[in-house]
Each structure stands twice: as structure tokens, then as C-alpha cells.
Amino acid sequence: MIVSIAVWLMQDLLQVLMMGFMLVPDFFMLVVIYMTISKPLNERRISWWLWFAFIGGILWDLRWVVIPGMSGLINVAAVVLVFWVWNRTPIGGRSAALFAGLAGGIHFLSGIAHYFLWAVPSQAATRMFLIQQLLSVPALAVLCLIYAFKTAGQHV
Amino acid sequence: MSKLNSILVNSLVAMFFGLMTLWMSYALPLTIRFAADKVGVMLSYPETPVQEIRALVQTAGNWMMERKGLQDRNRELEIENLALRAALHDAALPPPVSTSEMIGARVTLRYPDAWWKEVRINMGSSQGVKIGAPVLSEGYMIGKIIMAGENYSWVELITSASFLLAAVVNETWDLGVINGDDRGNIWLLYMPPEREFKRGMMVSTAMVGDYLPPGIPIGKIWGDGDTRDGFTPRSVVSGAHLTQLYNLQVLLIGDVSGVRN
């Protein structure tokens, strides 16, 4: 949990630093997705991460977005989707590649939702969106490596 | 199955609260604004050092570019000041004692949906900021304070459709009202169509209140609008870069010595 709070804060500080130049990737959501699936799918744990993602999203909205509630809803939907896919995937198939595809796809869809609901569609906004998605790739790669390292020789 | 049910219930409840917050942002915008300001104040503690770093990097980058412009502007102001002092001397009037003070402020929030309407800054009533105080960027007025919290304030931008400000064309002394359109344009309203204004004529504030002294530069006349109801609005180009509002100045008028630490 402390790691997730630190990531949220780091994302906020990065956004302050880059305000006007770029939108920082949603590192918080990526970490929450990772935390959701990195351990056995326990009911209480998933519910807890669900609310944690929701509160993180609401706080982000209150700090940066004009439509509070949107990021909270997106984060909740992300956790539910990840849980649903992971729960339906046989243990042998829960690979780092699946995690990368899932987290990357959700991050992309979340970016699209923010782009259309929050920003004024324009060339500059599109460029910011693309940079945001590109910058999420290294973070995603790091999380995949951690996941692969953690699950090497075992399946969660 | 019960595992799924519990998560489903939790997600539905969370989504309900999320939708409630969304509804509140439309139905009760002031409540949401209040919450956003509280979060902003809470985060201002860890964000302040980062803002300092950002300002430092930005200042270093812009230093060379801005230096020449500021030197030219300083020279213009010095000449103007000397001329005014000479005029006062000729009129045998004592030079006025300055009771104003300029404080630096940083933009902490600029909503995309309200890009041309308002920004939030990191200075508030505890630093002496009062409602109505003019806010400047690069020496030009870009807005006024509409809400002052303890350590933050909201600035209504000159490009806002609800922004109205008495202004004067320096060269002709014609009075009008400055107004925005929420799309980045600035208009000088209520100007007679027969008056001819040259492109580049300076527009400044006219005397309107205790916190807003006359003579603060706003921008330059750029062109004519469509004549309507017997008036031809003139478009005005701000002297400041309105798309790059990061470091601003708030003009505090009156006795501020007891307020600031």
C-alpha cells in the first residue's frame, strides 16, 4: 500500500513538474493493476484494492481534472476487468505477457477516455496523449519484469 | 461464486459513489471546488519544492529570451517615469508615495475545460491577496482575483466571457470595456464605429476601484470587430503569453505591511 501511495504522489509531483508540457502516464493505475494480480485472488484483497483505486482516482480528479469521479470510475472498472480476466484465465496462462497486454490495454483505454472526456481534442492534445502512452511503456516493462521474476518457477 | 458476488457488490457501490461525485460536479460545483481546493492545499506541501525546481529550470531556460524584452520594457518605463516626475514637478505636486506591492505567484491549476476562464495560484489572503486585485504576467494585466483562500486564490482571466473591465486606449483616451469570449480572444467593447484606431495602440486599465489602479498595460489594439447596436468592438492582443501562464504577479494595493510576514 505504501508503494502505491508513493507512486500516486510521485505521479502528482511529476505532473507538477511537467505541467503544460506533457501528461504523465497513469503509473498509479498500472501499479494497482499489478498489485491486484501479483498475489492470489483473495476476495478481501481485491475489494480493498478496488476501493484504494477508487480513492486514488477521486483524489487525482480533485487535483487535476475538471470532472471529479471520472478517474475513480475508470480505476474501479480497470480493477474489476483485470480481476475478471485473471480469474477466468487458467493459472498456467497468467503470464507476464498477458499482464502486459491487459495493463497496457487498460492504460490505453483510460487515456482515450480522458482524451475525449477531459481534454479539448486537438493536435497538441493528441501529441500529449501519444507521449503519455509511449512513456507508459518503460513502466509497464518494469512491472512485467518484476512479475516475471516473482512468478518464475511458480504460478499465482 | 460468493467471491465474485462480494467483489461485484463492492465495485457497484464504488461506481455508485463515483457517479454521485460526477453528478455533484455538475449539480454542486461549489462543493466540488471546495473539495478540490482542500486537496490542493494538502498537496501544496510536497508540491512546493517541485514547483521551485520547475520555476528554476524554467527561469534558467527563459532567462536569455526574456532578458532583452525586459530590458526594453524597463527602459520604456524609466523614460515614462521620468516624464511623469517632470510633469509633477512642473505642476508643483509632491510625488505620490507608493502603497502598492507586487508579489510573485505560481499557477497551480488550470483546468482544460476552463482554459481561458480561470487559473488557481499559490498565494492567498495570508499573503495579502484580496478579491479584485489585478494579476499580471510579463508586466501586463491578465486577470483579477475572484476568490481568495488562505494560501491560494482563483484568478479570472481576461479572456473569460464574464470578465468586464474598464479600459482606456492610451493614445486616444477612448474608454471602453475589456471582455473575453472564453476562446482566447479579448475585445474592447462599446467603441464608436467612426473612431479610427491604429493597430498597435496600447490599451490600459482605467480607474475602477481601490484594488485596481489605472494605467496597467493590458495589450494592443489589433483589429475591428462587427458593428452591432451602434458600437464596433476592437480586438485586443494581450501583451502577455496567455498560453504560457506559469509565474504571475499579484498587485497588492494599499497598506500591506501588516499582512505579510
User: Which tens digit of pLDDT belongs to each residue from B108-144?
Assistant: 888 877 889 999 999 999 988 999 899 999 889 999 9
CA distances from A26 to A19, A106, B45, B79 (A): 15, 10, 22, 52
**B191 in any annotated domain:** yes
By three-state DSSP, how is residue B127 classified?
Answer: helix
Asked if residues B245 and B239 have their Cβ atoms less than 8 Å apart, the reply is no
Instruction: Note the pTM of the prediction, 2 decimals.
Output: 0.70
Chain A environment of B119 (Cβ under 8 Å): none
Q: What percent of chain B has pLDDT over 70?
A: 89
Dist. CA B117–CA A57, nearest whole Å: 25
A138 pLDDT higher than 50: yes
Q: Cell numbers for B125, please give them.
A: 489572503
Q: How far is A85 from chain B (nearest CA, A)?
A: 12
Least CB–CB distance from A43: residue in B7, B17, B54: B7
Listed range (A28-42, A45-59, B79-93) with the worst mean pLDDT? B79-93
In total, the C-beta contacts within 8 angstroms joining chain A to chain B are 103
3 state SS of B129: coil
| Residue B223 at interface with chain A, using a CB cutoff of 8 Å | no
Separation in Å, CA of B160 to nearest CA in chain A = 17
Enclosing H/E stretch for B247: strand B247-252
B85 within domain boundaries:
no
Nearest residue on chain A to B16, alpha-carbon basis: A73
Rg (CA), chain A: 15
Q: Is B32 part of a structural domain of the chain? A: no
Q: What is the CATH number of the domain that holds B170?
A: 2.40.10.340
Q: Is residue B214 part of a domain?
A: yes
What residues in A contact B24, CB-CB < 8 Å?
A: 68-69
Cβ-Cβ contacts under 8 Å for B229 (sequence gap 6 or more): none
pLDDT at A11: 94
Bridge-based pairing state of the strands B153-157 and B140-148: antiparallel
User: How many domains does chain B fold into?
Assistant: 1
Nearest to A46 by CA among A79, A4, A86, A70: A79
Residue A105: the pLDDT is 94
Give the position of cell 512468478.
A151
Q: Which residue of A has its CA nearest to B7?
A: A47
Q: Can you tell me the mean pLDDT for B188-201?
A: 88
In this structure, is residue B257 part of a structural domain? Answer: yes
Q: Which residue in chain A is spatially nearest to B54 when comparing CA positions?
A: A17
Return all residues near B196 (Cβ < 8 A) that are at least 6 apart. none
Are B36 and A47 in contact (CB < 8 Å)? no
Per-residue pLDDT, B258: 40
- Owner of C-alpha cell 497551480: B108
Among the listed ranges A72-81, A84-93, A96-105, A115-124, which one has the minimum average pLDDT value?
A115-124
B118 CB neighbour count, 10 Å cutoff: 20
Interface test with A, best of B1, B16, B24, B25 (most A CBs within 10 A): B25
Q: Are residues B43 and A63, on separate chains, in Cβ contact within 8 Å?
A: yes
In sequence order, the 6+-apart residues with CB closer than 8 A to the CB of A31 are A3, A4, A7, A143
Q: Give the pLDDT score at A143.
A: 92
Greater confidence (A115 vs A30) lies with: A30
- Are A102 and A85 a contacting pair, CB within 8 Å? yes
Range of the domain at B238: 99-261
CA distance B178 to B203: 9
> In this complex, is the C-beta atom of B12 within 8 Å of any C-beta atom belonging to chain A?
no
Q: Does A79 touch chain B (CB under 8 A)?
A: yes
Centre a 10 Å sphere on the Cβ of residue A95 and count the other Cβ atoms it contains: 15
Mutate to test the interface with A, among B8, B20, B21 (most CBs of A within 10 A): B21
pLDDT, average across residues B208-219: 79
